[in-house]
Amino acid sequence: MPRRTDLAAASRDSQLALRRVERQQALIERLHAAHGGRVQLDELAAELHVSTRTLVRDVERLRLSGVPISTHRGRGGGLSLPRVTAMAPIVFDLPEAAALMSSLTVLGPSVTSSATSAMSKLVAALQRGPAPKPSRPAP
């Protein structure tokens, strides 16, 4: 049987991981809102209520996961995401959609408006089923 201190540590670790995920989502959304512009590290750290070092670790985790965050040194430096006006369509198979849905469920599908929107779109796509395959013209 786990000791009370072990359970408390596990709970604390889960809470820290959840806060990190929420913070990283907020970081990406904030950089996107800058429309390709740079946001200062100390400004972001203050907005997210963390130290600059914690923010640097979050950025590194996101970059290792493939998020295209650019860092800019020197005067006027900071962080940026590429400017995106419209995303290309994304096609997920059921296991991929399920992975996203379970991740959103852990995060809390209503923690942000973008999380709510993403969950709604995934649920709607599952309810509609697969898109019809395009018909091929006769040879």
4 and 50 in a single domain? The answer is: yes
71 and 102 in a single domain? The answer is: no
78 and 99 in a single domain? The answer is: no
**How many whole angstroms separate alpha carbon 39 and alpha carbon 126?**
37
The residue range of the domain holding 97 is 87-130
Higher pLDDT, 51 or 7: 51
How many domains are there within the chain? 2
Element (H, E) at 70: strand 70-72
Q: Does the model's pTM come out above 0.85?
A: no
39 pLDDT exceeds 70? Answer: yes
16 and 41 in a single domain? The answer is: yes
108 and 64 in a single domain? The answer is: no
Confirm whether 70 is domain-assigned: yes
